[in-house]
Amino acid sequence: MSDGDRPRAAVLAEAAQAAGYAPSVHNTQPWRWRAAGEALDLFAVRERQLDVADPEGRLLAISCGTAVQHARVALAAEGWTVAVARMPDPADRDHLARITLTGRTAVTPEAMRHFQTMRLRHTDRRPVSDTPVRPEAIAAIREAVTASGIDLHVLTGDQILELAAAASHADKVETEDPEQREELAYWVGGDRPEGTGVPDAVIPSQAPQTTVPGRDFVRAGTLTVGSGHDRAAAYAIMYGPGDELADWLLAGEALSAGWLAATELGVTVLPFSSVIEIPGTRHTLRGMLSDLGYPYLVLRLGTADPDHPGPPHTPRLRADQTIDVIAG
């Protein structure tokens, strides 16, 4: 049996399983897949939405978008062409996407490389080294992002200082709010055996000496941080023309494509979302964009600190917790 003859539901379920490597806010993995016939459907799981930090579901949808792009990468690596419909059912806002198999194509080395990179990509919260990210690398990451109709605005030095003030304000607002702290504590810390959340092993053991403060997880983790800084890091705002569910989904697809490209170029990525969660700082970011569009996420791009090993991979839910396969 050639690959093209394999049962479609099995092909789609495998792609959904590979999409489990996708990044999500606080590793919530707020998605559920249904593989049936020629189609793979993605649904938002509202029980894993951050009700306090993300009441509109912006970060949930961005997270689901990363899973859509991961599934597409997995299918391309198996030689499938696909069509993607976003928000395919106007009556069901939780039905975020439908990926349909449309035919067979040759597997390119690029598709295979992206597939392998999905397992390597991770979030690195350590400071970055003093080696700046090459302009060609930033251009290549931006190209990967713009393929989804989203763009990256790379911040100037003055704007980085403005971002630093916004990030510390957003963290202060969140850490002083008991409801925010309770929600954070649910998703963060410990060794997370249940397959979700951010374990201590990927949280810095002390706050890195960076201009822009990383998210305050309100606990020290066990990740060793060196003496690096973020002087050589680039900061960019991901933005686009709309601020609705379908836009956020596309932003997630763009984030995933850009992050895989960055990983292949040896560039570490750290998302900053507290500045998006707080309406006031989201407004500040909008101002930095000079009304070019709506901000979705801030990314720190850097060259990894070479003095210490990178953080381990975070846990994931089991396939049977996120995928339904409908036979027939």
Site for ligand FMN, rule CB under 6 A: 23-27, 59, 62-63, 66, 122-123, 125, 198, 214-215, 271-274, 297, 314
Q: Which alpha helices (DSSP H) does 107-244 contain, by range?
A: 109-120, 135-146, 157-175, 178-187
Cβ distance 38 to 103 under 8 Å?
A: no
Closest distance of CB 101 from ligand FMN, Å: 26
Q: How far is the CB of 90 from ligand FMN (least distance, A)?
A: 25
**Half-sphere exposure for 317 (CA within 13 Å, toward CB):** 22
**Of all residues in this chain, which one has the CB nearest to ligand FMN in the complex?**
23
- Our separate counts of H helices and E strands in the chain read 10, 9
Would you say 75 or 249 has its CB closer to ligand FMN? 249
CB of 183 to ligand FMN, least distance (A): 13
Q: How far is the CB of 63 from ligand FMN (least distance, A)?
A: 5
Task: Using the minimum distance from each CB to ligand FMN, give the nearer residue, 25 or 285.
Answer: 25
Whole-angstrom distance, CA of residue 16 vs CA of residue 20: 7
Nearer to ligand FMN, 9 or 20 (CB): 20
Cβ closest to ligand FMN, residue 41 vs residue 253: 253
Q: Is 52 helix (H, G, I), strand (E, B) or coil?
A: coil
Instruction: Please count the residues of the chain.
Output: 328
CB nearer to ligand FMN: pick between 39 and 67? 67
Q: How far apart are CA 148 and CA 139, in angstroms?
A: 15
What is the closest distance, in whole angstroms, from the C-beta atom of residue 36 to ligand FMN in the complex?
Answer: 27
Cβ closer to ligand FMN: 101 or 199?
A: 199
* DSSP-derived 3-state class of residue 241: coil
Phi, psi values for residue 159, rounded to 5°: -70, -30
CB of 273 to ligand FMN, least distance (A): 4
CB-based contacts of 273, cutoff 8 Å, min separation 6: 25, 59, 215, 297, 298
8 Å CB contact between 45 and 67: no
